[in-house]
Structure 1
Amino acid sequence: MRFEQASPESLQCARLDNGAYNDLRALVKSEIAGDRAQPVSPYTGLADYQFWRRAIERTPQEKVDPVVSGKFKITKAERIATAGSCFAQHISRTLGSSGFNYYIAESAPEGMSAEDGLSRNFGIFSARFGNIYTARQLVQLFDRAYGRFCPMDTEWMRTDGRWADPFRPTVEPDGFLSEADVERSREAHLSCVRSMFESLHVFIFTLGLTEGWRAKHDGAVFPLAPGVAAGCMDFERYEFINFGVKDIVDDLNSFIRQLRTVNPGAKVILTVSPVPLIATYEDRHVLVSTTYSKSTLRVAAEEVASHHHDVAYFPSYEVITGAFNRGAYFEADLRSIRSDGVEHVMALFLRHYTNTVTAIRKPESSSIGAWMEAEEAQKVVCDEILMDT
């Protein structure tokens, strides 16, 4: 009743003179006038590459670019070393044929033909270590090179009576004549591996698999199970392992820490191979195992790269397997990668991680690319193919 007796002009409140209440009055006024304010979405104003419709649906296949920007640049003077699964070979060939300093620490003996060198794994990677499918293999390679790990498995016998190195069982297609030959070759190889780690400027590692086989007695991990290319499977001595995200993250971080001890300035680029598994030892469909393996590797690579300023992730996996290309980058076997897929990947690599946009060219015959000029060099050397023969 008292408020009814008072005039509106006589009602005063100092708090209502605050600027915040003036904004409130304006908002109420706009509501009354029917001019409702539109809320601002946190996605408003983001870059085109952050939206599927703009970055994928409305973008021509060959223009899709999931890299956006490289973490650092590589110059043509820097020594670039590669290791990993089969797909890593495409990277090394492109770098070598584009005028970059692709570093080969373990070269074929003088006088050996390009074909013979290729068949013996010279020049395929920066050293003659064959396929390194898992991060655990990479860590153990480093440890073996520096005498920190001496596996009990030193040589495996082949079915033809010759010998193989358990950690690179296919580098000698005809096998070694004796156990002593295996040891001599290994010593020379590990010496080259040390030179590679100590001299490289950039190390590109392609993660390929989570599945592997290891020795129960010392934890040594092999690229192929005993009995596939050499040796004999003994389930009392060897066991199957399927690495998880934490395993891979720990292994990669361990490798990076150790690399820093011999080469503090080295930069690392991680990629994930888009090549599906040739076979799985898990009791499930190979497609399910492939999805698990690649997803696990992808997550691990992201976690490691995000915690190191000089470790980058390059999305070759996404370019080849992305829905945007409708499977066009796979051969008829839905596993091998077509040349146009490789070209798309490497064009992005050159654009974002180098200062060159020069078209890929063939190397001079006198350069490190002599082996790449051979017709056989266009084939990818992949140890795991022996699992399905």
Structure 2
Amino acid sequence: MSDHPYRSLPDSAYWRRAVAGQGPAIDPLGGGFLTLGREEKVATAGSCFAQHIARYLKRSGFAFLVTETAHPIVPADAAERHGYGMFSARYGNIYTARQLLQLFDRAYGAFVPAEDIWDAAGGGGRVVDPFRPTIEPQGYAGEAELRADRAHHLAKVREMFETLDIFIFTLGLTEGWESVEDGAVFPICPGVSGGRFDPARHRFRNFRVGEVTADMAAFIARLRGVNPGARIILTVSPVPLVATASGNHVLAATTYSKSVLRAAAQEIAEDHDGVFYFPSYEMIMGAPAAARYFAEDLRNVTEEGVSHVMSVFLRHAAGVDLPAPPAGPAFETPDATLAAAREWVQVMCDEALLDPGADGGDRGDETA
């Protein structure tokens, strides 16, 4: 038999050897991943799934960077309800690459959206920030308060970008809503959590691979302009869409969205030095897991799944071995710890508002 390239490939290149029979606790990360030091400042942003990364970094003793903090007298639970510590700054969910790029531009004064204040859903003269509409649960008392808080927030975003060592961004969605006037992208459809939907002013967008890669390339160039040594880790959220405005079945729409994001993440990592892809999506959604890592709703990721993802991440990036989580059957009923974690995510995930009855409560239970 003549020699050929496949004869010298490692076991990880073959499905039978690397996947079949391996069970759900699979490690699909190849070589060439970054090294994370305990003193390196790690910032996170993205969809709700990114919150788990921050939680595990803090728990494992790494330097999770938080530039926007609550006043010391504010109780921890109240600070969490107002979005402090959820990510590195108080920007809430950033579901799309376009949102991330526009956040950077807004922070540095390069983009000032025309539609920058919404009336709160509850009325009473209160207002919300269209770009983080649920960050203040009751809204702001008025425009002056909102603008003052936004100025402080954007200053802390600049501080984050300029001082971080590693930026972890979880790509969550391709679907979004934007202003017809200037293309400003909102984290939630106007009218769902403040504001009023107007088809003459707002339009649906479903970003394609080329748009996602272009937005991320522009963001990377801007970030390196203020922080030349910044390294970036990209992940794709495994959590399906809570609802789709594409006109397609939500399963097909989810497959499209995640496929676009996964392809874009690969291209970005291949095209840019210091950018790495971490396969959390594959670990949760792959055939070996067989839906084991999803709760009964087939959307929310269980603590067992999150623990597996983070154990692989920390083992490769930092040489840290986490204790294995207790194994549970597929569709297990969440224990008290998981229920508490899910309740926190409920409050802070904007997309859940698209289907408020999904979890039997007011807000759904979104972790995309």
Length-normalised TM-score, structure 2: 0.90
Q: Distance in 1 between the 2:160 and 2:279 partners?
A: 25
Q: Distance in 1 between the 2:32 and 2:234 partners?
A: 12
User: Which blocks of at least 5 consecutive residues in structure 2 are unaligned?
Assistant: 326-336, 357-368
Report SS of the residue matched to 1:386.
Answer: helix
1:44 aligns with 2:11: no
Report SS of the residue matched to 2:80.
Answer: helix
Report SS of the residue matched to 1:289.
Answer: helix
Report SS of the residue matched to 1:101.
Answer: coil
1:145-294 equivalence runs, <5 A: 145-161=107-123, 162-294=126-258
| Deviation, structure 1 residue 40 | 2.9
Report SS of the residue matched to 2:6.
Answer: coil
Worse-superposed segment, 352-361 or 291-300: 352-361
1:85 aligns with 2:52: no
1:302 aligns with 2:269: no
Provide the residue aligned with 2:297 in structure 1.
333
CA contact (8 A) 1:118 1:377 kept: no
CA contact (8 A) 1:329 1:341 kept: yes
Provide the residue aligned with 1:116 in structure 2.
78
| Deviation, structure 1 residue 68 | 2.3
Q: Distance in 2 between the 1:321 and 1:140 partners?
A: 30
Which amino acid in 1 is paired with 2:353?
L
| Deviation, structure 1 residue 46 | 1.2
Stretches (4+) displaced over 3 A: 358-361, 373-379
- Corresponding residue pairs, total: 340
Provide the residue aligned with 2:351 in structure 1.
384
User: Which blocks of at least 5 consecutive residues in structure 1 are unaligned?
Assistant: 1-37, 362-372
% identical equivalent positions: 51
| Deviation, structure 1 residue 354 | 1.4
Instruction: Report the structure number with the largest CA radius of gyration.
Output: 1
C-alpha distance after superposition, 1:308-338 (max 9, x if no partner): 1200000000000001111100000000001
Report SS of the residue matched to 2:251.
Answer: helix
Which amino acid in 2 is paired with 1:104?
V
CA contact (8 A) 2:119 2:195 kept: yes
Report SS of the residue matched to 1:102.
Answer: coil
Report SS of the residue matched to 1:206.
Answer: strand
What is the alpha-carbon root mean square deviation over aligned residues? 1.6
Report SS of the residue matched to 1:121.
Answer: coil
Report SS of the residue matched to 1:44.
Answer: helix
CA contact (8 A) 2:23 2:289 kept: no
Report SS of the residue matched to 2:321.
Answer: coil
Q: Distance in 1 between the 2:139 and 2:56 partners?
A: 30
Provide the residue aligned with 1:133 in structure 2.
95
CA contact (8 A) 1:114 1:374 kept: no
Provide the residue aligned with 2:60 in structure 1.
98
| Deviation, structure 1 residue 376 | 4.4
| Deviation, structure 1 residue 179 | 1.1
Which amino acid in 2 is paired with 1:157?
D
C-alpha distance after superposition, 1:122-149 (max 9, x if no partner): 0000000000000000000000000000
Counterparts in 2 of 1:277 and 1:358: CA distance versus 1, 3 Å: closer
CA contact (8 A) 2:311 2:322 kept: no
| Deviation, structure 1 residue 153 | 1.2
